Amino acid sequence: MDTDAVRHIEHPLYEKIRNEDIDAFNAARKELPELPSLAHGDFRGLDLRGMDAKGLDLSHAYFRGADLRGIDFSQTNLEGASIAGAKISGCYFPPQLHSDEIILSLNHGTRMRYNILK
């Protein structure tokens, strides 16, 4: 499998997100001893407002056209993710993610690269 390929993830938490059942996702994640990797996940066009993204691995995920408004991604791995055309008003992004990377991804669909802070 291509390591950059977007994929369907076989996990109940992923299914709750895909069904846009964010309240159930937030409740279920609290019950797990360890969060699953959601890397390379397909989140295109989904309404994810209210999602608790703390500690999630969303690296290389695909969010084209998704509604991400107000999500706190500050403690989320978004390296390599694409947010083309997504609604991002009020989002809080990780400090390693430069604003230029966010704009390039939003406007052109590029995958976001982290800056190494010294």
Q: What digits encode the pLDDT tens for the residues 36-94? A: 999 999 999 999 999 999 999 999 999 999 999 999 999 999 999 999 999 999 999 99
DSSP per-residue codes, 46-59 = -B-TT---TT-B-T
Mapped onto helix, strand or coil, the DSSP state of residue 95 is: coil
Output the pLDDT for position 8.
87
Output the pLDDT for position 7.
83
Q: Which two tokens stand for residue 31?
A: 């019950």
Determine the average pLDDT of the residues in 92-104: 95
Determine the average pLDDT of the residues in 105-112: 96
d(CA 11, CA 74): 24
Could you tell me the pLDDT band of residue 118, with boundaries at 50, 70 and 90? Answer: low
Output the pLDDT for position 3.
58
Query: What is the CB neighbour count within 10 angstroms for residue 113?
Result: 14
d(CA 1, CA 46): 25
> Which has more pLDDT, 47 or 116?
47
48, 20 contact by CB (below 8 A): yes
User: pLDDT tens, 4-37?
Assistant: 677 889 999 999 999 999 999 999 999 999 999 9
Output the pLDDT for position 1.
47
Residue 116 makes CB contacts below 8 A (sequence gap 6+) with 96
